[in-house]
């Protein structure tokens, strides 16, 4: 009897240990899901800029910005290592960083963008390498590891002399009820500009469309992503109808597609503060875009604002319309006369370019 009692105690002890291990693992794995509070003062350090009357906001898909180190937990990075399919070595990696740095200093003749949303980055280290080896030296980073199967993430790079981060978190996207999708979550950042305005920033990289047919098949996932985003935006506007919200990203949809125009309801002009409007929509109507596919330009990268920016009491006012950075060095012309973004690789052929997307940006006037 004593032996049986001892055996039962051992079983319960083992169960208790297993529960503790599982709880610890869960807490560790969900740490990045929680809101992170940032208590950061404005930096007085000069970060290479001299214009405090404007704020430049940019988004850029960096196209497979991987380091050269093999991640044993991610088989999808195997082609981006020195002995991989793309022979991704230190020289090519540093060329990519140099090229991206060239983009940032060509957005504006006076200053680099103050807030830069990026996607398709492998980890925080590549962001630190990018910041430390370009004109962005001194910029801070908000980054979260995503659930994406390829291991690519979103992040915000920002000038701490112009923007102070107050909090940040990831927002899950649901393709099925009560089950977060294994995809790039939306990254939310709340912060304050030097003139005291609070900004709510949402970074997005929605489900891709490999072909036109695949785009139609995956549309419902982008619509569901829009619903997750809309819910988060509504929660902010319910508390503060005049809140200043910036939504940007690679949506893999154009401004007039169902996800953005009908679900998110991001139209061309706001009638009231709680309306959302897409500053890239006018350029889309001119058949301009950021991504070239099937012999046409598509406006997949967008910047969407809340109507609070254009209300009378706003101290941060967007200039007319969004911008796509069209520069000759970013483009490649084929023998047939087609022009499209000069990317790093064309299949397995190394081109030494920049990205398969062009960056978008908006300029705001700052009042004090």
pLDDT of residue 138 exceeding 90? yes
Could you state, in order of their start, the residue ranges of all structural domains in the chain?
38-366
CB 301 within 8 A of CB 250: yes
Model confidence at 254, in pLDDT bands (50, 70, 90)? very high
pTM: 0.89
pLDDT of residue 242 exceeding 80? yes
CB 167 within 8 A of CB 131: no
Short-list 152, 188, 199, CA closest to 315 = 199
CB 351 within 8 A of CB 344: yes
Place of tokens 């004593």: 2
Rg (alpha carbons) of the chain, rounded to whole number = 22
Average confidence score pLDDT of the chain: 90
Q: Report the CATH architecture of 38-366.
A: 4-Layer Sandwich (3.60)
Q: Is 228 helix (H, G, I), strand (E, B) or coil?
A: helix
> 181 φ, ψ to 5°?
-70, 150
Percent of the chain exceeding pLDDT 90 equals 80
Q: How large is the average pLDDT for residues 267-290?
A: 97
Determine if residue 218 is left, alpha or beta; phi over 0 gives left, psi from -120 to 50 gives alpha, anything else beta.
alpha
Instruction: Read off the tokens for 104.
Output: 């940032």
Percent of the chain exceeding pLDDT 70 equals 88
The span from the CA of 28 to the CA of 5, in Å, is: 35
pLDDT of residue 312: 86
pLDDT of residue 39: 75
pLDDT of residue 215 exceeding 80? no
The span from the CA of 157 to the CA of 363, in Å, is: 16
């Amino acid at each position: 009897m004593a032996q049986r009692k001892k055996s039962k105690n051992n079983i319960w002890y083992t169960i208790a240990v297993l529960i503790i291990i599982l709880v610890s693992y869960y807490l560790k794995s969900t740490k990045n899901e929680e809101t992170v509070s940032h208590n950061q003062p404005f930096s007085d350090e000069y970060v290479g800029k001299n214009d405090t009357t404007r704020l430049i906001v940019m988004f850029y898909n960096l196209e497979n910005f991987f380091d050269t180190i093999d991640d044993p937990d991610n088989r999808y990075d195997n082609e981006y290592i020195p002995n991989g399919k793309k022979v991704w070595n230190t020289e090519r990696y540093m060329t990519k960083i140099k090229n991206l740095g060239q983009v940032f200093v060509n957005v504006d003749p006076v200053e680099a963008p103050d807030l830069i949303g990026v996607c398709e980055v492998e980890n925080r280290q590549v962001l630190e390498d990018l910041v430390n080896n370009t004109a962005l030296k001194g910029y801070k980073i908000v980054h979260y590891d995503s659930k994406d199967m390829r291991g690519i993430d979103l992040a915000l790079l920002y000038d701490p002399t112009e923007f102070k981060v107050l909090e940040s978190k990831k927002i899950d996207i649901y393709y099925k009820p009560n089950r977060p999708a294994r995809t790039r979550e939306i990254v939310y950042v709340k912060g304050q500009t030097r003139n005291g305005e609070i900004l709510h920033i949402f970074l997005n990289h929605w489900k891709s469309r490999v072909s036109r047919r695949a785009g139609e098949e995956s549309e419902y996932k982008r619509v569901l992503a829009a619903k997750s985003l809309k819910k988060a935006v509504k929660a902010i506007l319910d508390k503060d109808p005049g809140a200043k919200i910036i939504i940007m990203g690679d949506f893999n949809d154009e401004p007039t597609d169902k996800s953005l125009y009908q679900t998110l309801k991001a139209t061309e002009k706001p009638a009231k503060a709680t309306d959302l409007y897409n500053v890239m929509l006018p350029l889309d109507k001119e058949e301009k875009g950021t991504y070239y596919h099937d012999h046409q330009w598509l406006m997949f990268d967008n910047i969407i604002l809340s109507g609070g920016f254009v209300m009378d009491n706003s101290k941060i006012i967007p200039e007319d319309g969004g911008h796509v950075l069209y520069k000759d060095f970013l483009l490649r012309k084929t023998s047939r006369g087609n022009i499209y973004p000069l990317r790093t690789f064309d299949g397995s052929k190394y081109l030494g370019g920049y990205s398969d997307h062009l960056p978008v940006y908006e300029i705001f006037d700052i009042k004090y």
